[in-house]
Amino acid sequence: MEGRTPYQMALEQLNKCAKIMKLDPNVHEMLKYPKRVLTVNVPVRMDDGRIKVFTGYRSQHNDALGPFKGGVRYHPNVSVEEVMALSIWMTWKCSVAGIPLGGGKGGIICDPKKLSPGELERLSRGYFAAIRNIVGPDMDIPAPDVNTGGREMAWFLDEYNKYKGCNNPGVVTGKPLEIGGSLGRTEATGRGLSIVAREAARRLGIDFKKSDVAVQGFGNVGYYSAKFMQEFGCRIVALSDSKGGVYNPNGIDVEALLAYKQKSGKLSGFPGSKEVTNEEVLEVPCDILIPAALENQITKENAGRVKARLVLEGANGPTTPEADEMLFKRGIVVIPDILANAGGVSTSYFEWVQNGQNYYWTYDEVLQKLDKLMTAAFANVWESYKKYNVEMRMAAYICAIERVTAAMKVKGWC
């Protein structure tokens, strides 16, 4: 897929699935295109008094299952083709998770590191004012993404409520707790990944509670994945961040490692461990491997050296298509990102539900509901995996497309 735009990649995946599952050609044609793509130009008064215009987008792919859902990213490389592709992938992610939401995505072409807090706030409010007529709790629910978080969601919410003359927290998710956020959202992706790992291990005959786990990445997803899997009884044998990693076949205490990093600013030098590179973490002997750092980490160059029996994609796109095929031929099961890291969007759905009923759940209730949802999602994908005899990635896409197709047909769209 080298040289292709993200949108072309999304279409290739759709075409491949359509062929395997003999998808209705009319449904296939409709799923190729977002329902709506809005381009907005947002004038922002900069701190020095000049006006600078920023271009932003909101792509709404398919809402057969429910309102559009997806993040808003701030990045210099944002493009209309990128947000179109991401909105398609969000349709599949929501569908495979079994939640009643469709796929949307937004972005603004900017470098947030070069903007002051005041400029960022004016840009955020201007963008949301510009898209306000196509978003809302029953239409499209944005969320944080690359370079955005709770702060930006609070600005979005306030701007929407100001224009609409209401106080409706359900227009965005990923909000601070003080204004309708959900407990458990911060750790949701890592928690969901650990649940999927448990379910996959059970079906593959891996003793989950005695399994050795290597995790590439020690950010939010990597840390919480390791933390929860250690709580399940797994032995964490390797961990890394952008500066390098550590390996200990006898196990690493995740909380002690976090404390060490907070004090020293690095993982290397952790007592009792051997220093390894970010790349070497992918190749250590283990039962379960979690690439939770960046895209394109497992490639055709190193796929032959992966020793795990099970790979779970904590990051988005950490395995290249060529590596995917190599691992599949070697009998290594790869749980794709749209299933493995769907705990985040699932808990965003929980936040939206809580906002709608104005009643908020306890932390334990959120985790219980997440466990039930992710367990069911994995079971559905596993069924497709067995039925079509394809790699888990294709099985997940097929499972998602089947659900969207059924909703489209029931509604009489085709």
Please report where in the chains the tokens 């005041």 appear, as a residue: 118
Q: Cα(177)–Cα(361) distance, rounded to whole angstroms? A: 12
Q: Which of 83, 27, 74 is nearest to 410 (CA)?
A: 27
Torsion of CA 149, 151, 154, 156, to 10 degrees: -70
Six token digits for residue 209: 């509670």
Q: Cα(83)–Cα(58) distance, rounded to whole angstroms? A: 7
Catalytic residue check, 329: no
Cβ neighbours, 10 Å, residue 316: 16
- The answer to whether the CB of 71 falls within 8 A of the CB of 59 is no
How would you class 127 by CB atoms within 10 Å of its CB: exposed for 0-12, middle for 13-18, buried for 19 or more? buried
Q: Cα(90)–Cα(102) distance, rounded to whole angstroms? A: 7
- The answer to whether the CB of 62 falls within 8 A of the CB of 31 is yes
Q: Which of 151, 144, 150, 78 is nearest to 110 (CA)?
A: 78
Helix, strand or coil, per DSSP, at residue 40: strand
Of 93, 105, 227, 261, which one is the catalytic site residue? 105
- Amino acid (1-letter code) at residue 217: G
- Report the run of H or E that residue 231 belongs to, with start and end: helix 220-232
Between the CA of residue 194 and those of 178, 335, 364, what are the distances in Å?
28, 12, 16
- The answer to whether the CB of 47 falls within 8 A of the CB of 58 is no
Residues with catalytic roles: 105
